[in-house]
Homo-oligomer: A and B are copies of this chain.
């Protein structure tokens, strides 16, 4: 499984992903699920993937092929609007799935992949999209300014409590890290390292990017302080009538 998410706040975009892939429980591997594309001053995009690793890799290869092909009718850099690029990613994903549809059906397995795609084109607002395996897609809303793919449930409550469009970019990034950490603790199919990318609105440049292992000082300190803070919050919860007053 996988857990990836993107958050869109007024100040910019945050992308976060885990790095565990598995085909059954006895074939577990580590793969980055984040790709960054940047033409400074022109456009910056981030792509996150979950689902079939074969489909995900094929889509990323096709994106690179089209970027390098001067005769390509469309590519990641030529799309005039971000939603056109989301459409293109959906089309690449569908093409790849169709190519293996018969064989996949025979084997009873799935070649479906989900993608989160987002970024900013100079002069246009930043956007994030969830591209479904069927090739269609949605964008985040002001009321629910985040998108998740993969194992999304464990990490959703903290997003619902913290994230609003007015949240700072750094707080959104911290919240994404907590959301990922909660998922990693509760589900063995989601695992480190955690990748984080941040794009500041209207700063069309290489995104801030960092990879955190369980031993990275920032990740360790975040984990420790969150656990302590949760315990403190828990210990302050109201007592039942018959209990002694708060500790």
Contacts and interface: CB of A to CB of B under 8 A. Distances in A.
Given A157-B185, A160-B186, A233 B236 contact: no
Contacts of A161: 185, 227, 230-231
A173 B221 CA distance: 29
Contact of A240 (B153, B170, B239, B240): B170
Interface stretch (A26-34, A41-49, A174-182): A174-182
B231 A230 contact: no
Contacts of A178: 234, 237
B186 A153 contact: yes
B234 A162 contact: yes
A143 interface: no
- Give the copy number: 2
Q: Which 8 A-B pairs have the closest CB atoms?
A: A229-B233, A153-B153, A157-B182, A221-B238, A156-B186, A174-B237, A157-B186, A153-B154
Contacts of A227: 161
Contacts of A234: 162, 171, 174-175, 178, 226, 229
Interface of A: 153-158, 160-162, 170-171, 173-175, 178, 182-183, 185-186, 218, 221-222, 225-234, 236-240, 243
B160 A157 contact: no
Contacts of A233: 225-226, 228-230, 232-233
Nearest to A184: B157
A225 B238 CA distance: 8
Contacts of A158: 230
A222 B238 contact: yes
B231 A237 contact: no
24 contacts: A153-B154, A153-B186, A154-B157, A156-B186, A157-B157, A157-B183, A157-B185, A160-B186, A161-B227, A162-B230, A162-B231, A162-B234, A171-B234, A175-B234, A178-B237, A218-B240, A222-B237, A222-B238, A225-B236, A225-B238, A226-B237, A229-B232, A229-B237, A230-B233
